[in-house]
Copies of this chain bind each other. A is one copy, B any other.
């Protein structure tokens, strides 16, 4: 028995589930798990369907489904399984280490194409896992030059996603445009609280009792892209900004890897500035 994964995102309409289920039954596919969601405010329909049955011709099934769905429907049958990731880092190791260890033990079902650092700090660690590490310094370069170099390198690997694993440079809209909906960032605060630089210092100054982290897609607006996952940790008055920073790293890596898992299992749809997550 083969498994078939189908992703559908389209305008809502009467009888969508029936139409889809009819096509699948006609292809001798049995629905094992079906998740669907209708956003009433935007009238969008989202579905993630897992079927068992015979091997399907993905192109033919996509066409067949499109015919019964509203115009402009996005249909994906058996999207590429093993996503490839380019991981961008600066100096902090915790997120990268978590990704590489999971990769090493096959608990993160993705390929790591390469690691790129704007410092050389994490080379030794990365190379222990036999992953190519590239050092692309931002120093002495214009933002444009730096990003061109970055882009050229990433482009050569053609990854499915670019992961900013504590990459501490702000990317320009031009760069972001190259990877629309494909850049995932971990922000070290519970967005939208403490946007911008030094969130733990901000959290300390404000005297919050909870800190958090946010994984989100990167858009032109810094820290404003669609949120994929968030988590938090209680803190108290004894936490200095430095201790918060340390405690925050645990949340950051957990949230980033959760977001990556959701994405590589094709559980995340983006709609407007939000995500629909079938977890």
Contact = CB atoms under 8 A, between A and B. Distances in A.
Interface residues of A, number: 66
A268 to B, nearest CB: 10
Given A193-B190, A193-B191, A101 B97 contact: yes
Interface in A230-251: 230-232, 236-238, 240, 246, 249-250
Contacts of A263: none
A191 B232 CA distance: 13
A229 B209 contact: yes
Given A21-B22, A97-B105, A210 B207 contact: no
A176 interface: no
A25 B30 CA distance: 19
A127 B236 CA distance: 38
A277 interface: yes
Nearest to A38: B32
B237 A209 contact: no
A128 interface: yes
Nearest to A93: B105
Given A107-B94, A190-B193, A277 B236 contact: yes
Interface of A: 14-22, 24-25, 28, 30-34, 36-41, 93-94, 97-98, 101, 104-105, 107, 125, 128-129, 190-194, 206-210, 212, 226-232, 236-238, 240, 246, 249-250, 254, 273-277, 279
Question: Shortest 7 CB-CB distances between A and B: which pairs?
Answer: A207-B274, A18-B21, A18-B25, A193-B193, A209-B230, A237-B276, A15-B25
